[in-house]
Amino acid sequence: MFQFNPPKKFLENRNVLITGASDGIGKTCAQTFASYGANLVLLGRSQEKLESLYDELEQTAPGRVIIQPMDFAVAEADDYKMLAEHMTEQLPALDVLIHNAAILGARSPIEHYPDSDWEALMKVNVNAAFYLTKAVLPLLAAAENARVLFTSSSVGRTGRAYWGAYAVSKFAVEGLMQTLADELATTSNIRVNSINPGGTRTAMRQAAYPAENPDSQPSPETLMPVYLYMLSEEADSIHGQAINVRDFDPMAFNA
């Protein structure tokens, strides 16, 4: 696995927004980034889990965490605009946006895929990423060297039977990433990429593979060196790329 050990205050004074922060990879990102000095804005649908994480981080990162319960399944465009307005009142800029929130939905043939699942999943996995990115782009543009990381999946890069809306939504996320990256390549200092974590020990993985031994998959903590590297100056030249954690080699992008 790729290793990266930045200085302890590596993310000091950098403002980071993480969606899906109350569990899994998002929660681990929050804990890890806080340990490197970041100021955090954490979004999630579970207020109880967010409050628990807030209490935990207040012990080690007092005054540097803002939580915002938000259910992407019911949120509309105006909700994202309002969130951005509130953030603008509290932050001079946004340095990092981590799109991590997603739902799995049904796993079935397209022929039998539930209409309600399709619509709900697209709203959470695709529309939310669009609305939120659009709303906070001015804050990202105000940062000296901003980063946007979309969480992808192997089934969003090569189609796989029975993954239905989840796979299609991840293809859409890749398209959103590429389109945004191309638009911003020569007009801003915002770097945009996607990250495929690969199989990871999370609740979503367990739901997708209920018969699998969870311990057979790496923990979210093992992903963090790649996430941290992508926020570093060393990754300045990596833009518009589809990153795989499992075989990550920065030289492949910096050559």
| 124-147 per-position pLDDT tens digit | 999 999 999 999 999 999 999 999
4 belongs to a structural domain:
no
pLDDT, one tens digit per residue, over 161-171 is 999 999 999 99
Residue 78 lies in a domain: yes
What pLDDT was estimated at residue 211? 61
Bridge partners, 195 (sequence order): 151, 243
Segments forming the whole domain that contains residue 205: 15-254
Residue 5 lies in a domain: no
66 CA to centre of own chain: 17
> How many domains does the chain fold into?
1
Cβ atoms 42, 53 nearer than 8 A? yes
Task: Identify the pLDDT of residue 208.
Answer: 56
Residues with catalytic function: 166
The total of other beta-carbon atoms located within 10 Å of residue 137's CB is 20
**Range 79-97 burial, b when 16+ CB lie within 10 A, else e:** bbeebbeebbeebebbbbb
pLDDT, one tens digit per residue, over 91-123 is 999 999 999 999 999 989 999 999 999 999 999
Cβ contact 153:121 at 8 Å:
no
Strand positions, DSSP E, 45-163? 65-69, 96-99, 147-151
Query: Would the pTM of this model clear 0.75, i.e. be above it?
Result: yes
82-88: average pLDDT? 97
8 CB-near residues (< 8 Å, 6+ apart): 36, 37
Q: The CATH number of the domain where 60 resides is what?
A: 3.40.50.720
pLDDT (tens digit per residue) in 154-192: 999 999 999 999 999 999 999 999 999 999 999 999 999
Query: Which residue type, as a one-letter code, is found at position 229?
Result: Y
How many CA atoms does the CB half-sphere of 138 hold within 13 Å?
A: 10
Establish if 112 belongs to a structural domain: yes
Q: How crowded is residue 23: how many other Cβ atoms within 10 Å of its Cβ? A: 20
| Residue at 217 is within a domain | yes
Give a yes or no: residue 152 inside a domain: yes
Predicted confidence at residue 254, as pLDDT, reads: 67
Residue that has been written with the tokens 């207040």 in this structure:
58
Domain-embedded: residue 126: yes
